[in-house]
Amino acid sequence: MKITSAEFVMSNSDVAKCPKEPLPEYAFIGRSNVGKSSLINMLVDRKSLAKTSGRPGKTQLINHFKINQNWFLVDLPGYGYARVSKKDKKVFQKYITAYFEKRKQLVCSFVLVDIRHEPQPIDLEFMEWLGANGVPFAIIFTKADKLKPGAIERHVNTYLNLLLETAWEEAPPHFVTSSSNRMGKEVLLSYINDINES
Ligand code: GDP
């Protein structure tokens, strides 16, 4: 898919106020610092459509971007940032939960994980929650440029095997990406395009 336009539409913390247009929507979420903003900017070929996190944990809003006039890319806040207070965490959980439960336009949500790291309980629990609530999701492994090809395969297999051994009967769709060398960009955009056209 060629990106011909990418425009910021709105930020808010209330799912009821999200755009009313019935366009298919794809959400990106993951732990703070996972590389989400960099990935979004790489996908849409913009240097700073999504703000990279100088201050992790501070971009606590649901951000809608309209792409090619026919789908929404949604940048959700990073989770698991240790310095966010308990009260903020509760507020965060409430509106993000509401977003996933109520947003009918949501077609797929991409959960980002750093390919270098062992599977983290917070990510695994979040995926289980998505599954239990019937929210389709795919995994995006980020920062693949940090590993050699053999290690990429090993880390991905370890991750997927763990999912299969625990909660899942089949592995979710997954993508290996790097914003540094643009790995995975076309595959991911084709995945979105194919769903949009089906
Ligand atoms: P966010 O908090 O999830 O939005 O993460 P950012 O996009 O702000 O990235 C966090 C840090 O990881 C920054 O220092 C980025 O330069 C770095 N980073 C992000 N993506 C990549 C990548 O694909 N490869 C490498 N090597 N570093 C990355």
Determine the pLDDT at residue 54. 47
CA of 42 to the centre of ligand 1 (A): 11
Structural domain contains residue 95: yes
CB 88 within 8 A of CB 116: no
29 beta partners: 111
Q: 59: domain CATH number?
A: 3.40.50.300
The stretch 47-64 carries a mean pLDDT of 66
Q: Which 8-state DSSP code applies to residue 186?
A: H
**Cα 16 to middle of ligand 1, angstroms:** 31
Assess whether the C-beta atom of 80 lies below 6 angstroms from ligand 1.
no
**Please, which residues bridge with residue 137 across strands?**
109
Listed range (86-90, 117-121, 136-140) with the worst mean pLDDT: 86-90
- Residue 128 maps to a domain: yes
Pocket probe mutation, ligand 1, options 52, 116, 188, max atoms within 8 Å of Cβ:
52
> What length is written for the chain?
198
Per-residue pLDDT tens over the stretch 86-97? 776 676 778 889
In a domain, 32, yes or no: yes
User: Which comes out higher in pLDDT, residue 2 or 89?
Assistant: 2
Burial class from Cβ neighbours inside 10 Å (0-12, 13-18, 19+) for residue 61 reads: middle
Q: In what order do the strands lie in the sheet with 6-12?
A: 6-12, 62-67, 71-75, 25-30, 106-114, 137-142, 174-176
Handedness of CA 54, 177, 46, 77 (dihedral sign): negative
Give CA–CA dist 126/140, Å, rounded.
Answer: 14
Confidence of residue 77 (pLDDT cuts 50, 70, 90): confident
- Number of structural domains (the chain) is 1
Query: Does the residue 43 lie in any domain?
Result: yes
**Residue 31 Cβ < 6 Å to ligand 1:** no
Mean pLDDT to the nearest integer, 77-106: 80
Residue 36 belongs to some domain of the structure: yes
Query: Residue 19 sits in which domain range?
Result: 6-197
pLDDT at 80: 72
Higher pLDDT, 15 or 83: 15
* Secondary structure class of 149 (helix, strand, coil): helix
Domain assignment of residue 78, yes or no: yes
Encoded tokens for 13: 């913390």
Residue 68: pLDDT over 80: yes
CA of 33 to the centre of ligand 1 (A): 6
Whether the ipTM is more than 0.95: the answer is yes
Res. 19: pLDDT tops 80: yes
> Which residue has the CA at smallest separation from atom 5 of ligand 1?
35
Position 19, amino acid: P
- Is 36's C-beta closer than 6 angstroms to any atom of ligand 1? yes
52 CB within 6 A, ligand 1: yes
Average pLDDT, the chain: 90
Q: Which residue has the higher pLDDT, 52 or 42?
A: 42
1 assigned to some structural domain: no
**CB of 178 closer than 6 A to ligand 1?**
yes
Ligand 1 centroid – CA 26 distance (Å) = 20
Q: Does 187 or 45 have the greater pLDDT score?
A: 187
Average pLDDT over residues 12-28: 94
Report residue 52's pLDDT band, with 50, 70 and 90 as the boundaries: low
- Nearest C-alpha to atom 22 of ligand 1 is from which residue? 143
pLDDT value of position 56: 44
Query: 11 phi and psi, to 5 degrees?
Result: -125, 135
> How far apart are the C-alpha atoms of 137 and 76, rounded to whole Å?
14
Q: Distance from the CA of 98 to the center of ligand 1, in angstroms?
A: 27
